């Protein structure tokens, strides 16, 4: 029997009945992931389609059921003639709501980008009980997020003359499409040329220009709806992550920060990218998203699996190992209680830590390797612990800050350790000759390579437990500790 990996995408088309005309409209969508997993609904923007999510789907669908439709008038979905189909954001939201009904989505997290944001927030307003969390990636809900790049479109809102409409055709040209992808990108050479070509192909199809001009004109309805979107956030307090390409020429970083005004617990992260960070910063964004979704969607882990983490939550056989941790740290870390539910695992971990300390790696380099492995595992707890220990062992403040933020290290030997540990952890234990050359160029030998592998293996165990148990990071491991 053929076994399909859960992240193998499927490409489907279904019919959704238009509530306004009664006519069927075909909606194309991409889907991957286990059918019984929490759902993440990805809503794309202008001038793109679900194609923009191809990489993100691959990076999330091992844990989540990821669904990305093409909006009517975009991508491979039907594009009814605008003479008979109203291209408004209200109408597109109705169609996507109908899409979710047809495929049976009753609970989901939303990922919204650009046009997907006003559509997604309309879904949340209509059915707040369905929305488990919201990820906004350059998806605006606040006026301060709109840059001066919107001025020509604003002019058309205020004066919908034929001259002002014609002026907006410049937004549909290949040069503008390329600009949207490349402006602010940290490395434009990472942008797949087919992304630009596919978007432009659909923009150039018959009557697609009128579709987009109609939506430009209707964007004023989104700005008018911003107070309603904000009221929804205040009333329902959905978990929110705003992950933003900080160099976006259209949606400013202030639009991301503004989410905290209505939900103080909103998480805001900026990446060095433009309007399409998934083209150039995919792995960085995916790591941020996975950590957020783990906290908000993974309902059968954390307290649900481990219960409270304290002295009474562990077997008596674990006491000697917990005492050893207390001797080492001056207290028992929260993660120690989680590992101690299986005493043999805590015993093994403490033994491996002693073994790592006896290797040829210097003490700071040991902590660098374990921070790197923890970052590759998206394990915030491990990053906090080992960056703190690096500081206590004499690492410079600059090094510690770089470890906490995931930035390159100015110390070339430590940077070589960080790179090699990252390669092992992210490459399924297989590194390249390039990785080996980098380690040797920094003066390390085969013994150091094995020592780094040992450090990575130790973190594989405890980072897995940290993700399962979700312990709170101890105050002693915080940035100000």
The verdict on 107 and 231 lying in the same domain is yes
Establish if 2 belongs to a structural domain.
Answer: no
The verdict on 156 and 287 lying in the same domain is yes
- For residue 253 the two structure tokens come to 């970083």
Mean pLDDT of 62-80: 97
pLDDT-derived band at 428 (thresholds 50, 70, 90) equals: confident
pLDDT computed for residue 7 by the predictor: 65
Nearest-angstrom CA–CA distance, 123 and 18 = 16
Cα dihedral 390, 396, 402, 405 sign: positive
The catalytic site residues sit at 275
The verdict on 264 and 319 lying in the same domain is no
* Boundary-marking domain end, from 232, 264, 296: 296
Percent of the chain with pLDDT over 90: 92
Establish if 4 belongs to a structural domain.
Answer: no
Given a cut of 70, is residue 396 above it in pLDDT?
A: yes
R_g (Cα) of the chain, nearest Å = 25
Given a cut of 90, is residue 471 above it in pLDDT?
A: yes
Please give the distance of CA 338 from its chain centroid, rounded to a whole number. Answer: 26
Bridge partners, residue 269, by sequence: 243
Mean pLDDT of 437-453: 97
Across 83-87, 287-291, 408-412, 458-462, least confident range: 287-291
Establish if 195 belongs to a structural domain.
Answer: yes
Q: How are beta strands 240-245 and 131-136 bridged, if at all?
A: parallel
The verdict on 308 and 186 lying in the same domain is no
Establish if 1 belongs to a structural domain.
Answer: no
User: Residue 323's domain spans which residues?
Assistant: 304-477
Nearest-angstrom CA–CA distance, 326 and 333 = 8
- Nearest Cα to Cα of residue 80 among 68, 95, 90: 95
Mean pLDDT of 291-314: 91
Given a cut of 90, is residue 479 above it in pLDDT?
A: no
The verdict on 327 and 259 lying in the same domain is no
The verdict on 74 and 174 lying in the same domain is yes
Tell me the HSE value of 195 on the side-chain side, using a 13 A CA sphere: 25
Establish if 411 belongs to a structural domain.
Answer: yes
Query: Which CATH number goes with the domain that contains 87?
Result: 3.40.50.1820
The verdict on 110 and 220 lying in the same domain is yes
The verdict on 216 and 268 lying in the same domain is yes
Peptide bond connecting 47 to the previous residue in cis, omega within 30 degrees of 0:
yes
The verdict on 276 and 394 lying in the same domain is no
The verdict on 264 and 360 lying in the same domain is no
* Boundary-marking domain end, from 270, 296, 322: 296
Establish if 3 belongs to a structural domain.
Answer: no
Given a cut of 70, is residue 5 above it in pLDDT?
A: no
* Residue found by looking up tokens 């492995």 in the block: 373
Establish if 323 belongs to a structural domain.
Answer: yes
The verdict on 230 and 379 lying in the same domain is no
Per-residue pLDDT tens for 271-301? 999 999 999 999 999 989 998 999 899 988 9
Residue pair 93/106 in contact by the 8 Å Cβ criterion: no
Per-residue pLDDT tens for 113-169? 999 999 999 999 999 999 999 999 999 999 999 999 999 999 998 899 999 999 999
pLDDT computed for residue 299 by the predictor: 87
Nearest-angstrom CA–CA distance, 16 and 199 = 23
* Boundary-marking domain end, from 261, 296, 331: 296
Given a cut of 60, is residue 4 above it in pLDDT?
A: no
Domain count, the chain: 2
Mean pLDDT of 219-240: 97
Query: Which CATH number goes with the domain that contains 448?
Result: 1.20.1290.10
Residue pair 383/404 in contact by the 8 Å Cβ criterion: yes
Residue pair 332/322 in contact by the 8 Å Cβ criterion: yes
Residue pair 265/239 in contact by the 8 Å Cβ criterion: yes
Percent of the chain with pLDDT over 70: 98
Per-residue pLDDT tens for 180-215? 999 999 899 999 999 999 999 999 999 999 999 999
- From the CB of residue 106, how many other CB atoms can be counted at a distance below 10 Å? 10
The verdict on 342 and 198 lying in the same domain is no
Peptide bond connecting 372 to the previous residue in cis, omega within 30 degrees of 0:
no
- For residue 126 the two structure tokens come to 């209509």
- For residue 391 the two structure tokens come to 């500081």
Establish if 5 belongs to a structural domain.
Answer: no
Helix (H), strand (E) counts: the chain? 22, 8
């Amino acid at each position: 029997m053929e076994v399909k990996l859960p992240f193998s995408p499927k490409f489907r088309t279904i019919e959704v009945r238009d509530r306004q005309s009664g006519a069927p409209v075909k909606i194309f969508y991409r889907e991957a992931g286990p059918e019984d997993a929490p759902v993440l609904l990805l809503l794309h923007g202008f001038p793109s389609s679900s194609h923009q999510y191809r990489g993100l789907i691959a990076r999330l669908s091992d844990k989540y059921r990821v669904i990305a439709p093409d909006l009517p008038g975009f991508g491979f979905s039907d594009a009814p003639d605008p003479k008979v189909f109203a291209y408004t954001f209200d109408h597109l939201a109705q169609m996507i709501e109908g899409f979710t009904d047809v495929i049976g989505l009753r609970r989901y997290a939303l990922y919204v980008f650009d046009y997907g944001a006003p559509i997604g927030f309309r879904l949340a307003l209509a059915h707040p009980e369905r929305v488990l969390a919201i990820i906004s990636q350059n998806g605006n809900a606040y006026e301060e997020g709109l840059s001066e790049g919107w001025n020509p479109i604003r002019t058309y809102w205020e004066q919908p003359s034929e001259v002002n409409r014609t002026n907006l055709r410049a937004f549909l040209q290949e040069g503008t499409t390329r600009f949207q992808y490349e402006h602010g990108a940290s490395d434009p050479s990472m942008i797949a040329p087919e992304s630009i070509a596919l978007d432009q192909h659909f923009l150039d199809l018959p009557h697609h220009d009128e579709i987009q001009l109609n939506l430009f004109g209707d964007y004023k309805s989104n700005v008018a709806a911003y107070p309603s979107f904000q009221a929804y956030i205040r009333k329902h307090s959905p978990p929110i992550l705003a992950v933003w390409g900080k160099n976006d020429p259209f949606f400013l970083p202030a639009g991301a920060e503004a989410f905290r005004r209505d939900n103080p617990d909103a998480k805001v992260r900026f990446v060095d990218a433009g309007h399409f960070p998934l083209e150039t910063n995919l792995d960085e964004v995916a790591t941020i998203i996975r950590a957020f979704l783990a906290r908000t969607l993974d309902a059968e882990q954390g307290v649900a699996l481990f219960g409270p983490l304290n002295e009474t939550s562990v077997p008596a056989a674990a006491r000697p190992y917990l005492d050893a941790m207390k001797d080492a740290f001056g207290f028992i870390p929260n993660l120690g209680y989680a590992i101690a539910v299986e005493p043999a695992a805590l015993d093994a971990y403490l033994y491996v830590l002693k073994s790592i300390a006896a290797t040829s790696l210097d003490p700071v380099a040991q902590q660098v390797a374990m921070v790197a492995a923890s970052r590759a595992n998206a394990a915030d707890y491990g990053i906090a612990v080992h960056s703190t220990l690096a500081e206590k062992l004499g690492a410079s403040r600059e090094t510690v800050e770089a470890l906490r933020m995931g930035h390159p290290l100015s110390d070339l030997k430590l940077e070589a350790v960080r790179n090699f540990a990252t390669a092992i952890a992210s490459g399924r234990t297989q590194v390249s000759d390039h990785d080996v050359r980098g380690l040797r160029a920094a003066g390390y030998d085969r013994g150091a390579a094995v020592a780094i592998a040992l450090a990575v293996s130790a973190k594989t165990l405890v980072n897995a437990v940290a993700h399962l148990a979700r312990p709170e990071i101890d105050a002693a491991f915080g940035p100000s500790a």
